Structure 1
Amino acid sequence: MKITISDNIIKDFSKASSREWLETNGLGGWASGSLSGANTRSYHGMFVVATHPPVGRMVLISKLEEFIKFKGVKFELSANQFPSNICATGLEYFDKYEQEYFPVFHYKIGDNIEIVKTIAAIYDENTIVVTYEVKNAVDEFELELKPFISYRDYHGLIKENKNLRWEAVFGNGVLKMDPYEGLPPSYIFLKNSNFKFTPAWFLNFEYGEEQNRGLQFSEDLFSYGNFSVKLKQGNKIGVIISDKDPSRKDPFKLISSERKRREKITRNIPFKDDLSQRLAIAADQFVVKRGKNLKTIIAGYHWFSDWGRDTMISLPGICLVTGRFDEAKKILKAFAKSIDMGMIPNRFPDVGEEPEYNTVDATLWFFIAIKKYLDYSGDKTFVLKDLYSSLKDIIQWHDRGTRYNIKVQEDGLLYAGQHGVQLTWMDAKIGNWVVTPREGKAVEINALWYNALMILGELADLKGELKASRQFYERAGHIKNAFLDTFVIKDQGYLYDYINQYEHNSAVRPNMLFAISLPYPLLDNELSASILKITEEKLLTPVGLRSLSPDDPQYKGNYSGDRLARDGAYHQGTVWGWLIGPYITAKVRLEGDKGRQEVEQWIQNFQYHLSEAAIGSISEIFDGNEPYAPKGCVAQAWSVAELLRAYLEDVKEVFKKK
């Protein structure tokens, strides 16, 4: 399960900067940075808190830099990028990086000093623990720690300003920083330490990843001064960073308790090889609180909040195959509470405002998530008592019509869309330009619609409403016939992507895969096999499925440049990691043991990605062209969830319906 990063990467500033570590706290906050020690994103920070969990996120403390003073020489262990130079002397002493339950950094200064740093975010509180263990020291030395603060929204940057308070308070090992009116204070506790006040602004830190994305990338940071503590061989010290006075807490007890919590997560999964354990730990990072008693799933780190579509697709892999049924129930409750006009929210805005409902598929994935929850947990009481009536109401709203022209048509299929609104998962929009509008009857939407009716028939049967159950099943049968009449491209062996009054769009996209991968498939084996073959020939890569065939004139194989260029490529060839889930399900369903063996080989080859981007997690997207470089969010919920779900359900076959 342990991941170790090789010397040729950690000694190279560019390569080390492209690998990131991430620690999350179950509230929407985190600590994160690059392996080089230089922050490469505006989202990197040693102490990022969600002021209104899981949103309202702020980077309070940007960095905690380390220096070692030994026999009159000062050694810097960190790195930074500035306009005229890169200061990366810390890489000279960076000896090893490894990650099992936490990020662990090994530093060596010749044969004189060896020190190991471990970073941990503590679950369910705004607390980061950083421990240092002296493995070797030929003589006593001094460790200095310099905290840099930013205190700003996590999407933004800050510059030197006159509003910051230059005064802070230090006593009994605790530094209290309260730099701005109306923002929460931060505390840093290091027992038996001294603190030397040298308040100053430090200018023009540059964040290379933001520069690559065509965004603002230069920031000024402020520091109140330096902690210092004398150390010798065998010493262990722990730093606690928190939004409350942490002086009564023991850093080693905190990190021990957090380790035990994570170890329990790996014990609870039904198949315990390295991959499933790594992905279970990665999955844990996305489950967060929403309000006091409910839960949700963060779509991706570092910039997404919780999205309805992503949450419902992710729920089986994040919560169900990992045995987290109570949290799954709280997530379903949270979204059920927000149903409006027969729709669950597309997303909850980051600033905690009213939810947005511009989605047609999130609500239909809600049905899939509920069926999966029932299949795994056997919890009929909750589903029938708390959710069944809401699902029936959703169908009624879709029948009579809800927002954005979402309405059942005379043939029983679902139509959705209006000019300027993005409603499917292919939702890139820049200004008034919807890049992939897909207005009309979309193929995966109607596969989901058919499944929703089948699931409701199943639930009505469990409820004892036999007449209603027969009606839902009969209606689903009519939808299936209409689906086949509408979407099958005769003599081509695949499906239209969407249909409206103006066009029958025949672009080869992965959306057709859902007609054969969802719980209730719609196609016969011959057509299913043809779709799978075309998917493998045109869309399959070593890291996921392309969003558009390279043969298409609209194909874009590189996701790079400013926002206009990136969003223009987002669903026009860019590879999506989460789509490997439906591919695996469809392949194993159609090909049995042969497909299972091929998929297992694909998964084994894929595991190199767990050592790039966010260590131990899976990126949101990848370039469509070789070498399929990871892009977008470095840790994406549905990428992790769908690989873990398909691996355990379809490849290892550990799931048995209750």
Structure 2
Amino acid sequence: MSYLQFDKTQMTNLQDSLFKEFLITSRSGAYCSTTLVGCNIRKYHGLLVVPVPELDEENHVILSALDETIIQHGAEFNLGLHKYQGENYSPKGHKYITKFEWVKVPTWTYRIGGVVLKKEISYGVHDSRLYIRYTLVEAHSPTTLRLRPFLAFRNVHEWTHANGSADKSYKLIENGIKMCLYKGYPELNMQLTTDKAEFHYDPNWYMGLEYPKERERGYNSLEDLLVPGYFEMPIKTGESIVFSASVKEPEEPSKLSAMMDKEIAPRLPLDSFYHCLVHAAHQFKFQKDGESYLLAGYHWFKSRARDTFIGLTGLTLAIGETEEFESYMTTAQKAIYDYINKRPISVQIYEMDKPDVLLWAIRTVQNYALYTSSKQCYEKYGSLLKDMLDFIWSGKHPNLFLHENGLLYSNGKEEAITWMNSVANGKPIVARSGYIVEFNALWYNALKFIEELLLEAGTEEEKDLANRLHRMAEKVAISFKNTFLNEYGYLLDYVDGNMMDWSVRPNQLIAIALEYSPLNIKERKTVLDVCTKELVTPKGIRSLSPKSGGYNPMYIGKQTQRDYAYHQGTAWPWLTGFYLNAYLKVYKMSGVNYIERQLIGFEEELFYHCVGTIPELFDGNPRFSGRGAISFAMNVSGILTALHLVEKFRIMEEEDY
């Protein structure tokens, strides 16, 4: 029995199955994503969604859906499913699904009377080619397969509506056709492995398809799609037919089946919680023009600097992929040096200017040292570390100021400068400004890390710099406690003159989870206990305590309503990695069983939302529903990091015995 599996009862219950999604990605940033029942519920859904650099930097839905129909004795059984305005579903093909499972690729089994059909979907890792293989497992009489493509040719953020501008014409290619609805787009090539497939031209607009997730988010939710006709072909018992769709050049049809097998063969079987998360980690990989990036999430995020540095450890080092880490850092270094040398950013990493980005970058390099060695880290990234340190220390960042007390100060009143970056009317909703707790925790950690690295692996000439860092770190530690540690035993979130934010927020966890903390063990335990009581949920760490003013834990409603809840009580899984790390530092081996219990809560999430991965955030109150982006890099990273920590402690325990 496979790990990711749903039976007929689960698949035919639309209240449940309609909101289970899946995601397959390619290294180009293209993807295939819809629901397990094949009904698109977001404008971002589609079977072939690809970048079109000639138009813009966004993805575009080219092939939105493909309806399958089984024909026997003149009777037609349509396996597709679409939602139309007014809670109307047609043609309700989900009732024929007897099983969905995902071992290496998503696989459906349909039963229509005496007919059993298996469908598998795969995606080209590098060429963004969609493969759908249909295998007739069982049939007692002649059977015909009909395939009806639904075309969009639009930006993922926009809509298609019936119009007279669409070019409905097509051209024949070997075992298929090619079409291009609008100028500027590449041609869509649709091919089949059988030469018995006939294309029947019958162009029609299908009107009023509705996407409930967009309506739920307060957006327009209706779209029209063009169906140019259908492919029809006989299929025999035991025969497999592959449908291929691509914006690349047509392929020789006889090669498509072998090409699909070649794509599938090296894939990791999704047979456990861990392997699902490793697979999800690989889905964030994005390559362009020889550079390697991590996408922040799907479906709408790009590669963001802070997300890259927070997520990089769990998505590479924690799963044993050191070379992948180095590849991403090669690209990230270019962005760092472009920024600190005041050049235009030459790679596609966004938000490099945020004042905490270099602090997170130093912490990421520190993790590389922990997973490899100080010597290897110094040789590879020693110069980078010193250059980033000098940039911060010298006050070259326009919004990161080193004060006499050793703390870093940033102005966040007019612009969101931390990971809590939601805005309303152009202003930050959570205006964190002044001495910000995680900025200064990261600063202290950076000083101590680089000091120790230079002492252990640096040159004699660098010992003076190490001593300077030591003195500065001592000053920072004293100022940090005087500024942030309050009489109730937890840390203020930010301090700006007489303005002190007493809200209990999770950012203080970073101060006790890093390798070097300005707090002693007793102080760390007190902070941890407060966070445990007020912030921990089964699905992550709340962004605000229920006891604090402005608590708003439900991420629902229109965009503005959701923006005000985004960091005001919602739970974030990526912070769980910091919380569990802090817990282990305080409670050592006695904390391992507790951590394992915490991680179990995330395993069930692989069977909801987007199967096999973790969404962006959760409501902070029961039922702790998943919200936002269907797959979020920092969250997958945080949980993988926590799993690695547990395994590390288990090994230490065995060695002690």
Pairwise TM-score range, normalised by the shorter structure: over 0.9
- 2:336 is aligned to 339
Asked if the contact 2:304–2:349 (Cα under 8 Å) also holds between the matched residues in 1, the reply is no
1:375 equivalent in alignment to 2:364: no
Cα pair distance change 1:582/1:418, threshold 3 Å:
closer
Cα pair distance change 1:571/1:655, threshold 3 Å:
farther
Q: CA deviation at 1:52?
A: 4.2
In structure 1, the gaps of 5 or more residues are: 267-272
Which 10-residue stretch deviates more, 507-516 or 133-142? 133-142
- 1:626 is aligned to 622
Asked if the contact 1:131–1:251 (Cα under 8 Å) also holds between the matched residues in 2, the reply is no
In structure 2, the gaps of 5 or more residues are: 653-657
Post-superposition Cα deviations, 1:295-339, rounded to whole Å, max 9, x if no partner, equal 111111111011111111111111112222222112112121112
Q: Give the counterpart letter for 1:414 in structure 2.
A: L
Post-superposition Cα deviations, 1:31-61, rounded to whole Å, max 9, x if no partner, equal 0001222100010010011234994311111
1:92 equivalent in alignment to 2:95: yes
Q: CA deviation at 1:227?
A: 1.1
Q: Give the counterpart letter for 2:12 in structure 1.
A: K
- 2:165 is aligned to 163
1:222 equivalent in alignment to 2:218: no
Q: CA deviation at 1:644?
A: 0.8
Q: CA deviation at 1:470?
A: 2.2
Q: Report the TM-score, using the length of structure 1 for normalisation.
A: 0.93
3-state DSSP of counterpart to 1:117: strand
Q: 2:8 and 2:439 mapped to 1: Cα distance?
A: 47
Aligned 1:115-514 pairs, distance under 5 A: 115-191=117-193, 192=195, 193-248=197-252, 250-263=255-268, 274-289=272-287, 291-339=288-336, 355-378=350-373, 380=375, 383-384=377-378, 387-461=381-455, 462-464=457-459, 465-490=462-487, 492-514=488-510
Asked if the contact 2:400–2:410 (Cα under 8 Å) also holds between the matched residues in 1, the reply is yes
- 1:581 is aligned to 577
Q: Give the counterpart letter for 2:555 in structure 1.
A: Y
Q: 1:96 and 1:55 mapped to 2: Cα distance?
A: 38
Q: Give the counterpart letter for 1:409 in structure 2.
A: H
Q: 1:39 and 1:135 mapped to 2: Cα distance?
A: 27
Asked if the contact 2:592–2:649 (Cα under 8 Å) also holds between the matched residues in 1, the reply is no
- 2:655 is aligned to none
Q: CA deviation at 1:357?
A: 3.6
Asked if the contact 2:149–2:227 (Cα under 8 Å) also holds between the matched residues in 1, the reply is yes
Q: CA deviation at 1:605?
A: 3.5
3-state DSSP of counterpart to 1:321: helix
Q: Give the counterpart letter for 1:640 in structure 2.
A: V
Q: CA deviation at 1:259?
A: 2.7
Which 10-residue stretch deviates more, 134-143 or 554-563? 134-143
Q: Give the counterpart letter for 1:135 in structure 2.
A: V
Q: 1:100 and 1:549 mapped to 2: Cα distance?
A: 40
Which 10-residue stretch deviates more, 153-162 or 53-62? 53-62
Aligned 1:605-624 pairs, distance under 5 A: 605-624=601-620
Post-superposition Cα deviations, 1:209-260, rounded to whole Å, max 9, x if no partner, equal 0100011211111121111121121111111211223422633323332233
Post-superposition Cα deviations, 1:526-575, rounded to whole Å, max 9, x if no partner, equal 12112221112111111111100111220012101111000100000011
- 1:567 is aligned to 563
Aligned residues: 642
Q: Report the TM-score, using the length of structure 2 for normalisation.
A: 0.93
Which 10-residue stretch deviates more, 397-406 or 319-328? 397-406
Q: 2:313 and 2:350 mapped to 1: Cα distance?
A: 23
1:9 equivalent in alignment to 2:19: no
Q: 1:457 and 1:56 mapped to 2: Cα distance?
A: 43
1:522 to 518, 529, 536: 518
Q: 1:348 and 1:45 mapped to 2: Cα distance?
A: 32
Q: Percent identity?
A: 30
3-state DSSP of counterpart to 1:613: coil
Q: 1:380 and 1:463 mapped to 2: Cα distance?
A: 8
Cα pair distance change 1:219/1:12, threshold 3 Å:
same
Post-superposition Cα deviations, 1:114-141, rounded to whole Å, max 9, x if no partner, equal 1111111121112111111112111221
Q: 1:78 and 1:379 mapped to 2: Cα distance?
A: 56
Q: 1:124 and 1:654 mapped to 2: Cα distance?
A: 38
